[in-house]
């Protein structure tokens, strides 16, 4: 029986993680959760699960909930997530928090010898070197939840990592994969949020459309699998059936295929090295799929992907700059403050403007994140208002 803490339990990944836990009561036990501001969803979770430790975003919410649920210990804020990890007995921490604020809980999970099941890409994009150093220091274990990295992880099983030639990460192309650069000038928020294959949160859906998300996944793959950027490729694959591939030195290519269902990589991260029955999921039928298409990515069409490779190779605080700028720019777009293409402009400008630090500390990364956000909000907030 593995005891699980789920951070970001009210989001898409968190909800599906709870579903996996519920469907395998003989394997998993929920021992604590964090949610943000979605108190309605929290009440639903507390009806479905008997847990005694909960973290929310605000101190006022925590204080009010204490009276409603006197048997539950409530924490709040980012420090509360870390305290939850420290105080509550658990084997695995699922980090499904969105954004840079997920980095410190990831580091805390490693330091307290919890297995880290990671869906918070910012932990590696912004703090990859710190996370790797802590994993080495504490002999920790990290298992990826992102479908692409889970696919690579599965394709590597039973093979010598030294024989890997390339990692091939697939990309759907997002909401606007069939539009030209000229057509992107007039796209709306509603159009951008309509992903053709996946049901995801707002930021990641927009990041998929700009391909920033895929750039972040390249940086993640570098850290997860200790592989150089020259040996990571991105392929456009509109069906989202092949989630990623590994090419070996003998030119064999091993791929992981499946439906667009995040419960599979979530469950694999929790159950590894075993495979469990996946409930409430449509069986994969290759005959119904009929055909699979792949093509190279056009750097001019998706310039943020190229920038991510550049930032990854430069290292230091470059990933933190990209992530902070992206979070702010996407937020502005979602609130109709800037246009879709201005997301790119803001990120490129921040990358040039924010000072580079070759060997950043955690405090340096926190400050880099703050500066990148502030720069984008200051320079772009009034563009279309």
Q: Please state, in angstroms and rounded to a whole number, the distance separating the CA atoms of residues 219 and 68.
A: 43
Collect all residues with Cβ–Cβ distance below 8 Å to 286 and sequence separation of at least 6. 257
Per-residue exposure over 226-254, b if at least 16 CB sit within 10 Å of its own CB, e if not: ebeeeebebbbbbbbbbbbbbbbeeeeeb
Give the residue ranges of the annotated binding site for 1-deoxy-D-xylulose 5-phosphate: 121, 147-148, 172, 195, 208, 213-214, 217
Q: Please state, in angstroms and rounded to a whole number, the distance separating the CA atoms of residues 307 and 247.
A: 24
End-to-end CA, the chain: 53
Strands 232-236 and 295-296: antiparallel
Collect all residues with Cβ–Cβ distance below 8 Å to 317 and sequence separation of at least 6. 126, 354, 356, 357, 360, 364, 365, 368
- Tokens linked to 50: 């008997």
How open is the CA angle 172-245-203, to the nearest 5 degrees? 35
Give the residue ranges of the annotated binding site for Mn(2+): 146, 148, 217
Closest CA to 314 of 128, 149, 163, 169: 128
Give the residue ranges of the annotated binding site for NADPH: 11-13, 36, 38, 120, 122, 201
Collect all residues with Cβ–Cβ distance below 8 Å to 362 and sequence separation of at least 6. 103, 104, 107, 127, 130
Give the residue ranges of the annotated binding site: 11-13, 36, 38, 120-122, 146-148, 172, 195, 201, 208, 213-214, 217
Cis peptide bond N-terminal to 273, omega within 30: yes
Q: Please state, in angstroms and rounded to a whole number, the distance separating the CA atoms of residues 269 and 228.
A: 24
């Amino acid at each position: 029986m593995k005891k699980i803490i789920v951070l970001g339990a009210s989001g898409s990944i968190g909800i599906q993680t709870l579903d996996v836990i519920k469907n395998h009561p003989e394997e998993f036990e929920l021992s604590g959760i964090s949610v943000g501001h979605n108190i309605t969803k929290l009440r639903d979770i507390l009806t479905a699960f008997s847990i005694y430790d909960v973290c929310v975003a605000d101190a006022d919410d925590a204080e009010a909930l204490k009276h409603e649920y006197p048997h539950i210990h409530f924490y709040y804020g980012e420090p509360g997530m870390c305290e939850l990890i420290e105080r509550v007995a658990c084997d695995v921490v699922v980090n499904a928090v969105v954004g840079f604020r997920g980095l410190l809980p990831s580091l805390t999970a490693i330091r307290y010898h919890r297995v880290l099941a990671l869906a918070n890409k910012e932990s590696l994009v912004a703090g990859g070197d710190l996370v790797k150093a802590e994993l080495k220091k504490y002999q920790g274990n990290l298992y990826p939840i992102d479908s692409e990295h889970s696919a690579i992880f599965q394709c590597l099983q039973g093979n010598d990592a030294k024989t890997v030639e390339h990692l091939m990460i697939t990309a759907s192309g997002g909401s606007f994969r069939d539009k030209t650069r000229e057509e992107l000038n007039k796209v709306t928020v509603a159009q951008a949020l309509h992903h053709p294959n996946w049901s995801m949160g707002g930021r990641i859906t927009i990041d998929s459309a700009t391909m920033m998300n895929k750039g972040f996944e390249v940086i993640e793959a570098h850290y997860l699998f200790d592989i150089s950027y020259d040996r990571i490729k991105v392929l456009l694959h509109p069906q989202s059936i092949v989630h990623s591939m590994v090419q070996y030195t003998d030119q064999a290519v091993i791929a992981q295929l499946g439906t667009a269902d995040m419960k599979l990589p979530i469950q694999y991260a929790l159950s590894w090295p075993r495979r469990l029955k996946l409930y409430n999921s449509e069986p994969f039928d290759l005959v119904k799929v009929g055909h699979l298409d792949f093509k190279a990515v056009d750097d001019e069409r998706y310039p943020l992907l190229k920038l991510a490779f550049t930032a990854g190779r430069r290292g230091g605080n470059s990933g933190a700059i990209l992530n902070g700028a992206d979070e702010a720019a996407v937020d502005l777009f979602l609130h109709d403050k800037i246009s879709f293409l201005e997301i790119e402009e803001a990120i490129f400008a921040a990358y040039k403007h924010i000072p580079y630090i070759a060997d950043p500390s955690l405090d340096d990364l926190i400050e880099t994140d703050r500066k990148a956000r502030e720069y984008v909000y200051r320079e772009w907030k009034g563009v279309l208002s």
